[in-house]
Amino acid sequence: MASDLAFLFMDLKHGEEPGLAWRLLNSYLFETGDYEALPLLGFYTVYRAMVRAKVTAIRYAQTIGDNPDRAVLEEHRSYIRLAEECTRRRIPLLMITCGVSGSGKTTLSAEISSQLECLHIRSDIERKRIAGMAPLERSSAEDKASLYSQSSSEVTYRKLLDIAGIALKEGIPVIVDATFLQKEKRSMFRNLAAQMQCPFRIIRCHAHEIELAERVEKRIEEKRDASEADKAVLRKQLESDSGLSEEEKTMTTEIDTGKPVDVEAVARELKSFIS
């Protein structure tokens, strides 16, 4: 499956649609949880690009004579360049979101992941996966209490940490989409970034409390998102949000999602930390 996925992933990148390539990959991983395949992605992307390079080389050789097809030659070279690009090791960036339910973390994370070509890991999806649930599967009132319990959150954050570690080892930038309201949770990922010797950024999302409640209520009614956080969960989150330390604020990008967000400007700022 990794080889087939890499084929389309490579085609989208070659077609100058890297954002779509990463939307494809993230969507596949949301559904399957096959994060162990990430170490194979680079290999198969290069392999598929080189297969295309070979095919175009054969096509070009068939045109050599009085009128060689320069367009085919350039296409061949473009696949070689893509393969070379995929072999370059980058120092990745580890980003975490911070904010209560309804603050726009997931919407912003999806946009950033497309623009920065990075892995998007969602706590809402992994929380349900651990519980044996599909992303859009609805839980009972009793199951929901368990789903958002402290013990469930501990296991979920540990899983998020493991997935982020897999990606960072491959030089893949990561955005971890979760509330991260407790400093100890943020510190876990900050320590991971230090271990991987990569930059670390916090993306703090906030909006007016009334708007937060409206967004949460609308999401619950529509049943089109993995999150099942309701107003009761939101109240608990608002009560437990202790804010960022002064040191953490120096590594934080603040986003007021109650206003139009210039996602491109945010992405440019974050991209400056990727080398």
Residue 73, φ and ψ in degrees, nearest 5? -60, -45
What is the C-alpha separation between 90 and 196, in angstroms, rounded? 12
* pLDDT tens digit sequence for 150-189: 899 999 999 999 999 999 999 999 999 999 999 999 999 9
The number of angstroms, rounded, from the C-alpha of 205 to the middle of its chain's C-alpha atoms is 16
* pLDDT tens digit sequence for 198-255: 999 999 999 999 999 999 999 988 888 889 888 989 999 999 888 999 999 999 999 9
* Residue 174 near residue 112 (C-beta atoms within 8 A): no
Residue 66 has pLDDT above 70, yes or no: no
Q: Which CATH architecture has domain 94-271?
A: 3-Layer(aba) Sandwich (3.40)
Give the helix ranges, DSSP H, for 33-149.
38-61, 70-87, 105-116, 123-130, 141-147
* pLDDT tens digit sequence for 80-93: 999 999 998 888 99
Q: Which residue, among 153, 199, 196, has the nearest Cα to 178 in the 3D structure?
A: 153
From the CB of residue 64, how many other CB atoms can be counted at a distance below 10 Å? 10
DSSP-derived 3-state class of residue 93? coil
What is the C-alpha separation between 48 and 56, in angstroms, rounded? 13
Q: What's residue 184's pLDDT?
A: 95
Residue 148 has pLDDT above 80, yes or no: yes
Share the mean pLDDT of the chain. 93
Instruction: Write the Ramachandran bin of 93: left for phi over 0, alpha for psi from -120 to 50, otherwise beta.
Output: beta
**Mean pLDDT of the region 28-39:** 96
The domain spans of the chain are 2-87, 94-271
Give the amino acid at 16. E
* Residue 150 near residue 69 (C-beta atoms within 8 A): no
Q: What's residue 16's pLDDT?
A: 93
Q: If pLDDT is split at 50, 70 and 90, which confidence band does 69 have?
A: confident
Q: Which residue, among 252, 243, 205, 176, has the nearest Cα to 104 in the 3D structure?
A: 205
Q: What's residue 264's pLDDT?
A: 93
- For 97, the enclosing helix (H) or strand (E) is strand 94-98
Give the amino acid at 121. I
* Residue 180 near residue 160 (C-beta atoms within 8 A): no
Q: What's residue 224's pLDDT?
A: 85
